[in-house]
C-alpha cells in the first residue's frame, strides 16, 4: 500500500503540467494533437478527460504517462512536475519516457494482458520490478490483490491464463495488476467503452474504490461525460486538441464556460430518448462556432457560464 507522502507540503499538487504540446509528424504534414494543455491533479483526486475521437484526450494521457513513441512525435512542455519532483527541467524539453510512479489501464483487457503467461506470473513480474520480494511473498501479495478487486477464488485465478477468464474478470485483473506496483497516479484510457452499461459502472465503481483505498489519484480518459460525472471530482473537456473547460463534476451545467461542454452533456442518449422524435446533434455550423470560441479563449478572452449557455442556444436554434 502507498504511504501518504508527508515530506511535501499538502498544497503541492501530485501532477502539474504546463503548456504541454504534442505534434505528430513534422513540418507541413504534422498534426497538432494537443495544443498547450495545462493540467493539475491533486493527491487522491479523481479527474476525467472527456472529448470525442481526435480531440487529443488519449494523446494527452499518453504524454503524461510517458508512453508516446520517441520517434515521429514532438512533445514539449513548459514544466512537468510529478510527485514533488520536476520531471522535466526547463522549457521546451522533451517529456519523460515512462514516467515513474504512474500505471495505466487500457480499454481492452484481452490484448493488454500477456496471453500466454499465467495471471500469477504477470503479477510476479510487476511486483519484482518494484521491490525485492521472494516468489512466495509475490504469490501471497498477488492473492491479496486479486481478493481486493473482488476475485474471491484468487488461489485458482493465479494459475489461469487471460483467455480462461470472463471479460469482467479480466478487467478486474488488469486493474489489480496496474495498482500492485503502488502507483501514485492510475491512468485509465477508455476503460469502459467496450462494455455494456452495467459492466461499465462496475469498472468505474472498482477504479474509484481501489484508488481511494490505495490513496492513488485517478485520471480517466473517456468519451462518456455522463458516466464520468458520477465518479470523478473534476472534468477536463478537450476539443480539437485544446482543453476548453475544466469543471467540477457536480457543477457541469452551472460552471461550464464553453458551449461544447454543455452540448456534450445534451448529446448523450438516455432512456428518455426513446420518446424523442429526433436526437440532438451538433451541426457543422455549431462546430465552426465552437472552434472560433476556442481560439478566442486560447487568446486569453475571459469566458463566463452565461455566455456559454447563450452561445449554445444560438447555435442550436
Partner 1 sequence: MRAFGRGAARHVAVHPLDLEITSSTSLGIVGESGSGKSTLSRLLVGLDQPTEGTVTLDGAPVAQLLGTRFGLRDLRRTVQYVAQDTFSSFDPRRTLRDAVATPLRVLRELEGATAEAEILPVLDLLRLDRRMLDRYPSQLSGGQRQRFALARSLVVRPRILLCDEVVSALDVSVQGAVLNMIRDYCEEHGVGLGFVSHGLPATAFVADELLVMCRGAVVERGPTQQVLDRPTHPYTISLLDAYRRGPRHLVPLAEPA
Report in angstroms how near the CB of residue 82 gets to partner 1 at its nearest: 26
**Interface pick for partner 1 out of 17, 60, 149, 256 (rule CB under 8 A):** 149
Q: Which of 53, 111, 134, 304 binds partner 1 (CB under 8 A)?
A: 53
Q: For residue 63, give the nearest of 291, 238, 265 by alpha carbon.
A: 238
Shortest Å distance, C-beta 16 to partner 1 = 28
Q: Does residue 82 belong to the site contacting partner 1 (CB under 8 A)? A: no
Sign of CA dihedral 57, 20, 216, 96: positive
116: contact with partner 1 by CB under 8 A:
no
Count the neighbouring beta carbons within 10 Å of the beta carbon of residue 72.
11
Distance CA 311, CA 263 (A): 10
Instruction: Provide the pairing of β-strand 73-76 with 79-82.
Output: unpaired
Select 100 or 163, whichever has its Cβ closest to partner 1. 163
Angle formed at CA 148 by CA 232 and CA 212, multiple of 5 degrees: 25
- Give the Cβ contact number of residue 134 at 10 Å: 9
CB nearer to partner 1: pick between 271 and 299? 271
Site string for partner 1, 225-254 (x = CB under 8 A): x----xx-----------------------
Radius of gyration over every alpha carbon of the chain, rounded to an integer in angstroms: 21
28 part of the interface to partner 1, by CB under 8 A: no
Least distance from C-beta 279 to partner 1, angstroms? 4
Q: How near is the Cβ of 167 to partner 1 at its closest, in Å?
A: 6
Contact 255, 248 (CB under 8 A): yes
For residue 32, state whether it binds partner 1 (rule: CB under 8 A): no
Quote the CA–CA distance of 107 and 162 in Å, as a whole number: 15
CA distance 243 to 307: 18
Q: Does 275 bind partner 1 (CB under 8 A)?
A: yes
Question: Which residue in this structure is represented by grid cell 489461469?
Answer: 160
What is the grid cell recorded at 53?
Answer: 475521437
Quick one: which segment of 84-92, 127-135, 157-165, 191-199 binds partner 1 (CB under 8 A)?
191-199
Nearer to partner 1, 131 or 278 (CB): 278
The binder of partner 1 chosen from 105, 127, 186, 204 (CB under 8 A): 204
* Angle at the Cα of 81 from the Cα atoms of 80 and 83, rounded to 5 degrees: 145
Q: Which of 80, 82, 123, 145 binds partner 1 (CB under 8 A)?
A: 145
What cell was used for 9? 507540503
Which residues would be at the binding site for partner 1 (CB under 8 A)? 1, 52-54, 144-145, 147-150, 166-167, 193-202, 204-206, 208-210, 212-213, 223-225, 230-231, 263-264, 267-271, 273-276, 278-282
Amino acid at each position: 500500500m502507498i504511504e501518504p507522502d508527508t515530506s511535501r507540503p499538502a498544497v503541492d499538487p501530485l501532477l502539474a503540467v504546463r503548456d504541454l504540446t504534442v505534434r505528430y509528424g513534422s513540418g507541413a504534414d504534422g498534426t497538432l494533437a494537443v495544443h498547450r494543455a495545462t493540467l493539475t491533479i491533486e493527491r487522491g483526486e479523481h479527474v476525467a478527460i472527456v472529448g470525442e475521437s481526435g480531440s487529443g484526450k488519449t494523446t494527452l494521457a499518453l504524454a503524461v504517462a510517458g508512453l508516446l513513441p520517441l520517434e515521429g512525435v514532438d512533445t514539449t512542455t513548459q514544466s512537468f512536475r510529478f510527485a514533488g519532483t520536476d520531471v522535466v527541467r526547463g522549457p521546451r524539453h522533451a517529456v519523460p519516457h515512462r514516467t515513474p510512479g504512474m500505471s495505466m489501464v487500457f480499454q481492452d483487457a484481452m490484448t493488454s494482458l500477456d496471453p500466454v503467461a499465467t495471471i500469477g506470473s504477470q503479477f510476479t513480474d510487476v511486483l519484482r520490478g518494484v521491490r525485492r520480494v521472494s516468489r512466495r511473498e509475490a504469490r501471497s501479495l498477488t492473492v491479496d490483490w486479486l481478493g481486493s478487486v473482488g476475485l474471491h477464488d484468487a488461489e485458482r485465478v493465479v494459475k489461469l491464463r487471460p483467455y480462461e477468464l470472463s471479460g469482467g474478470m479480466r478487467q478486474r485483473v488488469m486493474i489489480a495488476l496496474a495498482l500492485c506496483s503502488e502507483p501514485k497516479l492510475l491512468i485509465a484510457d477508455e476503460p469502459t467503452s467496450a462494455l455494456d452499461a452495467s459492466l461499465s459502472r462496475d469498472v468505474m465503481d472498482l477504479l474509484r474504490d481501489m484508488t481511494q483505498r490505495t490513496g492513488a489519484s485517478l485520471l480517466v480518459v473517456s468519451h462518456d461525460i455522463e458516466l464520468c460525472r458520477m465518479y470523478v471530482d473534476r472534468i477536463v473537456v478537450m476539443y480539437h486538441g485544446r482543453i476548453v473547460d475544466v469543471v467540477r463534476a457536480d457543477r457541469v451545467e452551472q460552471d461550464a464556460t464553453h458551449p461544447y461542454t454543455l452540448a456534450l452533456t445534451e448529446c448523450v442518449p438516455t432512456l428518455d430518448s426513446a420518446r424523442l422524435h429526433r436526437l440532438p446533434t451538433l451541426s457543422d455550423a455549431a462546430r465552426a462556432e465552437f472552434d472560433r470560441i476556442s481560439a478566442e479563449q486560447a487568446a486569453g478572452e475571459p469566458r463566463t457560464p452565461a455566455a456559454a449557455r447563450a452561445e449554445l442556444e444560438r447555435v442550436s436554434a
